[in-house]
C-alpha cells in the first residue's frame, strides 16, 4: 500500500514511540518523594480498551485518501483521542487516590504531554487539509477541545494533581485570571488607539515614517524585563510628585505602560500597511463620485483598511497575553504570579497551573480575532 500522506506517518510513529518509552502518569505517595512512572500499556485492560477506538483511524491516517470525509473523520477521531487519553489519566488517578491517604499525587507524565501535542498536531493537519476560510478553520480548531472541556467540567479529572493544585489555589487562580484579562484589555485600548493614530500620522507624513518606526523599533528591541525595570524609577518618582494619581513604580501602572509601548509597533505598522494597500483608483473613484474627505474616510478608507487594522490588534493582543506573564515580576499579578510561585517551590504542577491558562487564553484570543476577520471579509463593506 502506498503512503498517501507522510505527515501522519511521522506523527503516528512518534506517538507510538512516546507511548512506548515515556510514562503516561507519575504516581508519588506524597509531594516530597519522586514519582513512579506508569506506562499507557499497563492501564489498558478490560472495558478500557474501548478508549483505543478513536486511535484506530489515526493509525490508518497515512493510507487514507485525502477526501473531505476522511479529513473530518481524522479530525474528530484526534479530538476524541485527546479526550480519551485525558479521561483515562483522570480515571486512573481517581482509582489510585481511592485509598485512604490523600497525600498521594498522580500527575501527568511526559508521555501524556507528548501524546497530547502530537494528537493536536494531527488534528490540525487534518483540518488544514480540509481547507476553508480562516474563520471556520479557527472555529474548528477551537471545537477540537470541546470534548476535553466537557471532561474537565464534569469533574472526572479532579484526582489529577494539576486539578488538586487548582482546588488548593482556587482564590488566587480566579484573581489571576481577572488580573490577566484586565492587563490585556486595558492594554488593547490605548495601544490600539495610539498605534492607529501613529500609523495614520505616518501615512499622511511620509517624511516622519523613518524616525517613527526607528523609535518604535528601538522600544520593541528592548527586552521586556528591561523595559519593565526601566519604568519603575520614573513612575515611582511621578507617583511621589502626584500623590493622588495612583501612580507607583510597581504594580499595574508600569505593566500597562510597558505592554502598551510594545503594542504600538504592530498596531502602527498594520495601520500604515492597511492604508497603503488601498488602490489609488478606488480613492479617485470616490473623489469622482463627489464624496468629501470625511465621507471618503468613513465609507472607503476605513472599511478597506479595517481587516489589516484588526490583524494588527490581534498581534498586539497575543503579544500582551504572553508579556503579561512577566508583569508578575513587578507585582502586577496575573497568571505569572502563580507560575513564579511554582517555580520558586520547584512545583511543576503549580507552574503548569500558571502556564496552561495563558496558552489557552492566547489560543482563544487568536481564534476570536480570526473569526472577527473572516466576518469582516464576508460581510458587506
Partner 1 sequence: MNRPPQGWPKTLRQWARTPLPWSLAALLALTLGMPALRPLFAALFPELDRPVYQQDSFAALVLAHVALVAASSAVAIVAGSVLGVAVCRPAGRAFRPLLESLLAMSQSFPPVAVLAVAAPLIGFGEAPALIALVLYGVLPIAQGTLAGLDAVSAATREVAQGLGFAPWQSLWRVELPLAAPVILAGVRTSVVINIGTATIASTVGAKTLGSPIIVGLSGFNTAYVIQGAVLVALLAICCDQLFERLQRRLSAWQPRQEDTAESAALPPLAGH
Residue number with CB closer to partner 1 (54 or 109)? 109
Grid coordinates belonging to 144:
477540537
Q: Does 17 bind partner 1 (CB under 8 A)?
A: no
Report if residue 209 touches partner 1, rule: CB under 8 A: no
Among the listed ranges 36-44, 81-89, 143-151, 213-221, the one in contact with partner 1 (CB under 8 A) is 213-221
Cβ at position 363, least distance to partner 1 in Å: 5
Nearest CA among 62, 50, 51 for reference residue 9: 62
Residue 89 near residue 160 (C-beta atoms within 8 A): yes
| Residue 34 binds to partner 1 (criterion: CB under 8 A) | no
Asked if 65 touches partner 1 (CB under 8 A), the answer is no
* List 159, 161, 336, 374, residue binding partner 1 (CB under 8 A): 336
Stretch that binds partner 1, among 26-34, 283-291, 301-309, 339-347 (CB under 8 A): 339-347
Rule CB under 8 A: say whether 222 interacts with partner 1.
yes
Residues 291-310 that bind partner 1 (CB under 8 A): none
Comparing CB distances to partner 1, the nearer of 92 and 349 is 349
Taking the complex as a whole, how short is the minimal distance between the CB of residue 379 and partner 1, in angstroms? 25
Is residue 368 a contact residue for partner 1 (CB under 8 A)? Answer: no
Of the candidates 369, 352, 373, 365, the residue with the CA atom closest to the CA atom of residue 322: 365
Q: Where are the alpha helices (DSSP H) in the chain?
A: 6-21, 40-43, 55-60, 68-96, 110-130, 134-143, 146-153, 161-168, 170-204, 206-221, 224-241, 252-276, 280-288, 293-296, 302-323, 335-344, 348-378
Q: Which residues inside 66-125 make contact with partner 1, applying CB under 8 A? A: 120-121, 124-125
- Looking only at residues 239 through 268 of this chain, which bind partner 1 when binding is defined by CB under 8 A? 249
Give the distance from CA 205 to its chain's centroid: 36
Do 18 and 41 contact (CB within 8 A), yes or no? no
> Please, which of residues 118-177 interact with partner 1 by CB under 8 A?
120-121, 124-125, 128-129
Among 355, 368, 372, 376, binds partner 1 (CB under 8 A): 355
What the block records as the C-alpha cell of 305 is 483598511
d(CA 307, CA 302) in angstroms, rounded, equals 9
Binding-site member from 142, 232, 291, 306 for partner 1 (CB under 8 A): 232
Residue closer to partner 1 by CB (options 53, 215) is: 215
CA distance 10 to 110: 19
Q: Of 151 and 327, which has the nearer Cβ to partner 1?
A: 327
CA distance 144 to 83: 10
Measured CA distances, 101 to 28, 96, 105, 109, 338 (Å): 11, 10, 10, 21, 26
Residue 350 neighbours by CB under 8 Å, 6+ apart: 165, 169, 338, 339, 341, 342
**Residue 116 CA to its chain's centroid (Å):** 16
Q: From the list 7, 177, 186, 368, which residue makes contact with partner 1 (rule: CB under 8 A)?
A: 7
Sign of CA dihedral 105, 107, 111, 112: positive
Only segment of 72-80, 150-158, 161-169, 222-230 that touches partner 1 (CB under 8 A): 222-230
From the list 37, 229, 251, 307, which residue makes contact with partner 1 (rule: CB under 8 A)?
Answer: 229
Give the residue, chosen from 233, 285, 302, 375, that forms a contact with partner 1 under the rule CB under 8 A.
233
What are the residues binding partner 1 (CB under 8 A)? Answer: 5-7, 10-11, 120-121, 124-125, 128-129, 217-218, 221-227, 229-230, 232-233, 236, 249, 318, 321-323, 325-326, 329-330, 336, 339-340, 342-343, 346-348, 351-352, 354-355, 358-359, 362-363, 366
Amino acid at each position: 500500500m502506498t503512503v498517501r500522506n507522510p505527515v501522519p506517518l511521522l506523527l503516528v510513529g512518534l506517538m507510538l514511540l512516546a507511548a512506548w518509552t515515556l510514562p503516561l502518569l507519575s504516581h508519588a505517595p506524597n509531594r516530597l518523594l519522586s514519582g513512579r512512572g506508569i506506562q499507557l500499556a499497563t492501564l489498558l485492560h478490560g472495558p478500557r480498551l474501548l478508549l483505543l477506538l478513536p486511535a484506530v483511524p489515526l493509525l490508518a491516517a497515512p493510507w487514507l485518501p485525502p477526501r473531505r470525509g476522511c479529513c473530518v473523520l481524522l479530525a474528530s477521531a484526534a479530538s476524541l483521542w485527546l479526550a480519551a487519553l485525558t479521561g483515562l489519566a483522570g480515571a486512573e488517578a481517581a482509582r489510585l487516590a481511592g485509598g485512604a491517604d490523600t497525600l498521594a499525587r498522580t500527575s501527568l507524565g511526559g508521555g501524556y504531554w507528548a501524546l497530547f501535542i502530537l494528537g493536536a498536531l494531527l488534528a490540525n493537519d487534518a483540518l488544514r487539509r480540509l481547507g476553508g476560510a480562516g474563520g471556520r478553520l479557527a472555529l474548528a480548531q477551537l471545537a477540537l477541545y470541546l470534548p476535553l472541556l466537557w471532561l474537565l467540567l464534569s469533574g472526572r479529572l479532579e484526582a489529577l494533581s494539576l486539578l488538586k493544585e487548582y482546588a488548593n489555589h482556587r482564590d488566587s487562580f480566579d484573581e489571576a485570571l481577572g488580573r490577566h484579562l484586565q492587563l490585556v484589555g486595558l492594554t488593547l485600548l490605548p495601544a490600539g488607539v495610539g498605534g492607529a493614530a501613529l500609523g495614520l500620522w505616518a501615512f499622511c507624513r511620509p517624511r516622519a515614517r523613518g524616525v517613527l518606526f526607528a523609535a518604535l523599533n528601538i522600544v520593541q528591541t528592548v527586552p521586556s524585563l528591561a523595559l519593565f525595570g526601566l519604568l519603575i524609577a520614573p513612575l515611582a518618582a511621578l507617583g511621589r510628585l502626584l500623590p493622588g494619581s495612583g501612580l507607583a513604580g510597581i504594580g499595574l501602572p508600569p505593566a500597562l505602560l510597558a505592554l502598551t509601548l510594545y503594542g504600538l509597533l504592530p498596531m502602527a505598522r498594520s495601520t500604515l500597511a492597511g492604508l497603503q494597500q488601498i488602490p489609488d483608483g478606488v480613492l479617485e473613484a470616490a473623489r469622482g463620485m463627489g464624496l468629501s474627505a470625511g465621507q471618503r474616510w468613513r465609507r472607503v478608507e476605513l472599511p478597506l483598511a479595517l481587516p489589516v487594522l484588526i490583524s494588527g490588534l490581534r498581534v498586539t493582543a497575543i503579544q500582551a497575553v504572553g508579556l503579561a506573564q512577566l508583569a508578575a515580576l513587578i507585582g502586577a499579578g496575573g497568571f505569572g504570579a502563580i507560575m513564579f510561585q511554582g517555580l520558586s517551590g520547584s512545583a511543576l504542577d503549580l507552574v503548569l497551573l500558571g502556564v496552561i491558562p495563558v496558552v489557552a487564553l492566547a489560543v482563544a484570543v487568536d481564534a476570536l480575532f480570526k473569526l472577527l476577520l473572516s466576518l469582516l471579509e464576508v460581510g458587506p463593506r
